[in-house]
Structure 1
Amino acid sequence: MPFLLIDFPSFNPIAVAIGPFAIRWYALAYIGGIVLGWLYARSLLKNERLWGGPAPISLVQIDDFILWVTLGIILGGRTGYVLFYNLPFFIEHPTAIFRLWEGGMSFHGGFLGCVIAAVWFARRNHIPILSLGDVATAVGPIGLFLGRIANFINGELWGRATDPSLPWAMIFPNDVAHLPRHPSQLYEAGMEGILLFTVLAVMIRFGALKRPGMVLGAFILIYGLTRIAGEQFREPDVQLGFLWGGLTMGMLLSIPMLIVGGILIVWAVRRGAPGPLEAIR
């Protein structure tokens, strides 16, 4: 083994076990992302300076929205994985759809689930859909970061094979090929989590929340770019492999995000900041 190769840390995917009851790091990542995101969302809504006046969403409403968005993440994420990544298997084994503890979630499906939850919740509560989307996506990178770290701890969704001389190349214990690979989960944690959160936070600091749809559009666009970049280093799912022209499913699903995100940003800029009465409608 090359002396520069890093041994994959020996992580236990189970964080806490009490008798037959076990909590996995992946579950904690979801819980932590939702809780920390909720706290950050509340801090954004409390800061009237960021909105140019009272926020168009109350703290009580964002508290209620947490349940809606949680269901959107879980139901959408699982549905997306079933449809986009492993449909033939689930057609043959339909009961496996409900075995969430075995893994299998799709970001793109989870995001669509969140969009549906946000639109439904906003209409029921008569609050601006785009502003709710801005808040939801501003906190999204927290969950993305924790989720990718959980992927790394589980030794799953690893990267493509690389030159053993790469100083941070790793051999993952579940890799039957036993090849040195990119720790692509950490790349994605940095891009989809830290980088995306930082860019959105800076935008918010300079008044992006005053233009409904701006943060939402930036999240969609930048996530699409970072996901496509990350897929350059990530091994495609074994049941799918590479698709048309060497593209992966993650790339194909991210391309529409570039278009939608760009449209939302242009629309938010052209529409301008709403007046005080419009902001609280």
Structure 2
Amino acid sequence: MPIFVLPFPVIDPVAVNIGPVPLRWYALAYIGGFIFGWLGLRALAANDALWRRGQPRPSRESLDDLLVFVAFGVVIGGRLGHVLIYDPAFYVAHPLEIFQTWKGGMAFHGGLVGAIIGMALYAHRSGVPLLTVSDICATVAPIGLFFGRLANFIKPEMWGRETDVPWAMAFPGAGDVPRHPSQLYEAGLEGVALGLLLWFAARHGALKHPGLATGFFGVGYGLARIFCEFFREPDPVQEALPNGLTMGMVLSAPLVLIGAAAIMFALRPRSATA
């Protein structure tokens, strides 16, 4: 037990009331992620130096459509992922709770599947190769992850395991036991560190190799999430698995393998006539 425990900075989950409608930090996190992600997409699409001459890529005018497809995919997929993967029995008994997203409960891996479906629909409609679409989205995805993890911290939810580190916190709803602020670990790794890696890669030619940024994202996110799971307290019913594994680890491991395969595909030797 540490001698000193950092107090949790209790923040009202409602950021502002617009008339009778409360606007919560959780919703603002998603709105901020989409807005700044959209700005990032526009900056990437407009920078000719990041692309090969003549390489098909999304036009700035069509990025609004891409944002809509991906946003719907993330929200619907993230919610259905949480419902179907983590607590299906509860939602079968309380089906109206499925629509109460302001209470939290969004699964990253479900949101990823939804985003892929949205990207595929956009790619088919626009004629841009899917790997190019996924590359540009992967490069800005850490922005949304960063805001989302901050929302988890503010709520608070998904807190860490018990610890005696000097920066331990006692979270409301988790007793007086000091815990890792694992949401901030994830914001730092999945958001800031991964985001910097992908922007650096994009500025040094990654987008010229379709699938490379997508692969970096898969490997980077998967490893970061698996690492952070060692500090995050898993729900004993929904997330904890035998042998110290968690659902987050199991679902993230394939992302590392798929990401590594995408990197090898993107960097494969090309014939002189290709």
TM-score by length of 2: 0.95
Instruction: Report whether the alignment pairs 1:13 with 2:49.
Output: no
Residue 45 of structure 1 corresponds to: 45
Deviation at 1:244, TM superposition (A): 2.5
Q: CA deviation at 1:76?
A: 0.4
Equivalent runs, 1:190-269 vs 2, <5 Å = 190-269=188-267
Distance 1:13 1:236 in 2: 23
Does the C-alpha gap of structure 1 residues 78 and 272 become closer, same or farther in structure 2, counting only changes over 3 Å? farther
**Cα distance in 2 for residues equivalent to 1:88 and 1:155:** 23
- How large is the Cα RMSD of the aligned pairs? 1.8
Q: Structure 1 stretch 92-101 or stretch 122-131: which is displaced more?
A: 92-101
Q: 2 CA distance for matches of 1:29 and 1:146?
A: 5
Kindly report which structure 2 residues correspond to 1:72-87, keeping only aligned pairs within 5 A, or say none.
72-87=73-88
| Structure 2 partner of 1:188 | 186
Give 3-state SS (helix, strand or coil) of 2:176's partner.
coil
Matched, 1:114 2:115: yes
What code does the residue aligned with 1:28 have?
L
SS where residue 221 of structure 2 aligns? Answer: helix
4+ residue runs of structure 1 moved beyond 6 angstroms?
none
Provide closer, same or farther for how the CA distance between residues 260 and 40 of structure 1 changes in structure 2, counting only shifts above 3 A: same
Supply the distance in 2 between the matched residues of 1:58 and 1:222 (Cα, whole angstroms).
27
The alignment partner of 1:270 has SS state of coil
Q: How far apart are 1:101 and its partner, in Å?
A: 1.6
Specify whether residues 241 and 45 from structure 1 end up closer, same or farther in structure 2 by C-alpha distance, changes over 3 A only.
closer
TM-score, normalised via structure 1 length: 0.93
Name the residue aligned to 2:169.
Answer: 170
Q: What code does the residue aligned with 2:199 have?
A: A
Separation in structure 1 between the aligned mates of residue 270 and residue 62 of structure 2, nearest angstrom: 25
Deviation larger for 117-126 or 50-59 = 50-59
Q: Distance in 2 between matches of 1:255 and 1:31?
A: 29
Partner of 1:60: 61
SS of equivalent to 1:182: coil
- State the Cα deviation string for residues 211-236 of structure 1 (Å, max 9, x = none): 00000111011100000001000010
Alpha-carbon contact 2:239-2:248 (below 8 Å) kept: no
- Report the Cα distance in structure 2 between the residues aligned to 1:273 and 1:152, rounded to whole angstroms: 50
Q: What letter is aligned with 2:66?
A: F
Distance in structure 1 (CA, Å) of the matches to 2:272 and 2:188: 34
Q: Which secondary structure does the structure 1 equivalent of 2:105 belong to?
A: coil
Aligned partners of 1:212 and 1:273 also within 8 Å: no
Task: Supply the distance in 1 between the matched residues of 2:156 and 2:80 (Cα, whole angstroms).
Answer: 23
Given that residues 6 and 168 in structure 1 are in contact (C-alpha distance below 8 angstroms), is that contact kept between their aligned partners in structure 2?
yes
Is the partner of 2:268 in helix, strand or coil? helix
Per mean C-alpha deviation after superposition, the further-off stretch among 14-23 and 257-266 is: 14-23
Q: Which residue of 2 aligns with 1:150?
A: 151
Give the unaligned 5+ runs of structure 1.
Answer: none
Q: Give SS of 2:57's match.
A: coil
